[in-house]
């Protein structure tokens, strides 16, 4: 989909506040509410808008610790990749999983209450199929975390 300046304004505003009313959004980009709603629906239907979500403050729910885990599998056969990726999706402690180039096959972002809680998660990770080894790095402090992609 080709994006024009109005589409970009819509995307930038919705990324900053997905709860904005259509009337307020339309007002901010100088469109009628019906034209604005048509644009938003077109962005949704074309897949440019991938979804809407709200963020939970990890610390406020007792899970302030982020751990990045590099995962290396026994082999990179399609069967191994599928088995691993299917299993990873079942773990609620794994927030993100990326297939990587480089030394590790995957990079996971895991949330935990503390190091003791991560020990529990680490034992669960050990049960993942085709796992050869892992290497974990604890986040000491988040320096930058962007939630908006300027369009």
User: pLDDT tens digit string along 52-97?
Assistant: 999 999 999 999 999 999 999 999 999 999 999 999 999 999 999 9
Q: What is the DSSP string of 20-47?
A: --HHHHHHHHT--HHHHHHHHHHHHHTT
Cα(147)–Cα(42) distance, integer angstroms: 22
- Residue 37's contacts (CB-CB under 8 Å, 6 or more residues apart) are 22, 26
* Confidence band for 108, pLDDT divided at 50, 70 and 90: very high
Q: What is the pTM of this model?
A: 0.87
User: Where exactly are the structural domains of the chain?
Assistant: 5-45, 59-138
Compute how many other C-beta atoms are within 10 angstroms of the C-beta atom of residue 78. 7
* Higher per-residue pLDDT: 1 or 97: 97
Q: What is the pLDDT of residue 1?
A: 80
Q: Report the pLDDT averaged over residues 16-28.
A: 97
Element (H, E) at 121: helix 115-125
| CA terminus-to-terminus distance, the chain | 13
CATH number of 5-45: 1.10.10.10
Q: Which CATH number fits domain 59-138: 3.20.20.100, 3.30.70.920, 3.40.50.2000, 3.30.470.20?
A: 3.30.70.920
Q: Which residues of 13-27 are buried (b: 16+ CB within 10 A; e: fewer)?
A: ebeeeeeeeeeebbe
């Amino acid at each position: 989909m080709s994006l024009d300046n109005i589409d970009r304004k819509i995307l930038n505003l919705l990324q900053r506040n997905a709860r904005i009313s259509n009337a307020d959004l339309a007002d901010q980009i100088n469109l009628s509410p019906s034209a604005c709603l048509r644009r938003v629906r077109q962005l949704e239907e074309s897949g440019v808008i991938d979804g809407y979500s709200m963020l939970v403050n990890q610390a406020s729910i007792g899970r302030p610790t982020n751990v990045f885990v590099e995962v290396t599998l026994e082999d990179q056969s399609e069967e191994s990749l599928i088995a691993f990726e299917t299993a990873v999706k079942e773990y609620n402690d794994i927030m993100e999983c990326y297939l990587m180039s480089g030394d590790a096959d995957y990079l996971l972002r895991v949330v935990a209450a503390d190091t003791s809680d991560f020990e529990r998660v680490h034992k669960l990770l050990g049960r993942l199929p085709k796992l050869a080894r892992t290497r974990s790095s604890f986040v000491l402090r988040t320096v930058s975390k962007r939630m908006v992609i300027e369009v």
